[in-house]
Structure 1
Amino acid sequence: MIRDEIVLLVLALLLFSGCIQPEEPQVVAESAVSEEWRPDGVVGVNEYSHHLKLYSTPRQGYTGGVMTVSWKIDDEHLYMALNGSTRGWLAIGFEPSEWMKDADMVMAFVNGSVRVLDEYSTGNYGPHIDDTMLGGTYDILEHGGRSYGAHTVVEFRRKLETGDRFDKVLRPEQSVSIIWAMSDSMDPGVKHNIAYGEGMIYLGRPQSPAHQISQNLTENDIEWMLFIWKEEKAARDLYGSLYERTGLTVFLDLVRSEQSHIDQIGALMDRYGVETPVLEIGIFDNQTLQRVHDELLSKASSDHDALMAAARFEEISIIDLERAIAETGNKEVIDVYSGLLAGSKKHLRSYVGDLRDRGIKYAPVYLSTSEYEEIVRTA
């Protein structure tokens, strides 16, 4: 049986343990690459080695949508397809340091011809500017695409290492943090209004062979899903209270981001028939989360203390997401959790950066010094 264990620290962490014997999982294979790559806007069944479906549910200002990212690499190049539920533009950004800042962006749309833009985001919320306008180079070597029905598909090829300082260096077997967005407009200057989010992609090995992945849910998976949903809610509720108390815009921004995280895990639960709880703001049926939320909120008597409390919560969230990923074999679940993990790391960098700007050096409480330093190295 799965059981919750309370660890007596200054703030409690929820740990899962038990003796679950999972059912024999259904096994599916990622696509083994056997088709020649063609940038024609048609994603062949065996044209790419990896596929990730990204969901964003409707919320204020956004209609909601789905984008599937497909990719493979060889010794020199990244080949990628973006298939989104829009007739407007769609975009992906590689390795942002915080929000959109420093992201290596590719934006594309089909308006008679196919346009693929090679851009770089200079700020947390843009603007994203053509590399050539910043002194860089245009490094999309081939591209193509098409629109059909309510969808747009764009394919492109670029070098893993372009030599352009505005392009991220990509390497085999690297896990790459991504952001993504879609608009119903073909004007690249118009803000996304269909969907946006963040995630993580594993580049794999050049022409890597297919490998086996579990696609079922165990009892432990369901326990973790429910807990991660509640933990993302705890973050949203905590940051909402901290915004009301301090007026710091970083908390308002992260309330919106945490709501996006709740929507992502909620959409995953819906697809597997796991019912989402109905809980009031600041109220939790998990006593450990309730204690963590209440204790952090009680210690936030100043702007400085509020930022410290929020950073500590993100440390806890990172640890829990890493454990959840380690304890599942379901690829779709791993993909969603990896996106949430990338988001939590960016949130931690945001809080640490704000503290640094106030002349305060943050020291990790729960993460190891080495992992913490790796996470905030770009802060």
Structure 2
Amino acid sequence: MKKSKFIRLIPILIVSLSFTLISACSDNNDSITDDIKNQTLTESDKTALLFMLEEEKLARDTYMYLDDLWTINQFANIQKSEQTHMNSVESLLIQYNVAYTILPVGEFANQDLQNFYDQFVIDGAINQANALQIGATIEDLDIVDLQTNINDTNNAEITTVFESLQCGSRNHLRSFVSNIEKGGDTYIPQFLTQEAYNTIVSADNEKCN
């Protein structure tokens, strides 16, 4: 009789234990999610977000200009991707309630980025080969700056977004370099190390989140 009662209790104990484990896992996942949502930004994080918003704008604005000038499909397509990159950074700024301003096309609050844009449109207007070199240079710069900011932050959301943007920039770099080489020219990395550049361009396009 005692043995029978014990057998009948086994399913109840199993259900009870399962519920406890599920609840514990659920609570743990909720805690992780809350930790991510409740992360605060350091001043360095804010500066990085504001800078990368404008650097993605640098790419978009330059490609818009070069597309109007040369009507090269790459510039038309990649400028749309750069707008998506801007939107991703802007979403984080909104989420963390960081004040920002997006200036008109061709205008930048950061003087270094303004100088880059001014020079890029001059050099890119010389010929189509130069325009493609400018495209590769922008993606080269973007990959390096994103990596610097990834290394400097402890914020998981910023890291996730910046890694996704970096993935896109690697694909863009491969695209520009491919066209440069089809024209019989070569791109020499301006910001990436030669080793890092070789690793990127020798790899297949990636699927980015």
Q: TM-score when scaled to structure 1?
A: 0.44
What's the offset of the Cα at 1:362?
1.7
Decide which of 307, 313, 316 is 2:132's aligned counterpart: 307
Kindly report the root-mean-square deviation, in angstroms, between the aligned alpha carbons of the 2 structures: 2.3
Equivalent pairs, count: 177
Q: How does 1:1-379 map to 2 (within 5 A)?
A: 45=26, 215-300=39-124, 301-378=126-203
Render the CA deviation track for 1:294-314: whole Å, top value 9, x for unaligned. 111111111110000111111
SS at match of 1:277: coil
Render the CA deviation track for 1:4-60: whole Å, top value 9, x for unaligned. xxxxxxxxxxxxxxxxxxxxxxxxxxxxxx978xxxxxxx73798xx99xxxxxxxx
Conservation of the 8 A alpha-carbon contact between 1:316 and 1:366 = yes
Task: Give ranges in structure 1 of 5+ residues lacking alignment.
Answer: 1-33, 37-43, 53-211
- Could you list the runs of 4 or more consecutive aligned residues of structure 1 that deviate by over 2 angstroms after TM superposition? 44-48
CA 1:219–1:248 in 2, change beyond 3 Å: closer, same or farther? same
Conservation of the 8 A alpha-carbon contact between 1:314 and 1:347 = yes
Structure 1 residue identity aligned to 2:55: E
Conservation of the 8 A alpha-carbon contact between 2:141 and 2:190 = no
Taking the aligned partners of 2:192 and 2:27, their CA distance within structure 1 comes to: 40
What's the offset of the Cα at 1:285?
1.4
Structure 2 residue identity aligned to 1:299: D
Question: Percent same amino acid among aligned pairs?
Answer: 33
Structure 2 residue identity aligned to 1:277: T
SS at match of 1:279: coil
Taking the aligned partners of 1:35 and 1:254, their CA distance within structure 2 comes to: 48
Conservation of the 8 A alpha-carbon contact between 2:55 and 2:142 = yes
Indicate the structure with greater strand content: 1
Task: Name the structure, 1 or 2, with higher relative contact order (CA <8 Å, separation 6+).
Answer: 2
Q: TM-score when scaled to structure 2?
A: 0.79
What's the offset of the Cα at 1:363?
1.8
Taking the aligned partners of 1:266 and 1:297, their CA distance within structure 2 comes to: 25
Structure 2 residue identity aligned to 1:257: S
Indicate the structure with greater helix content: 2
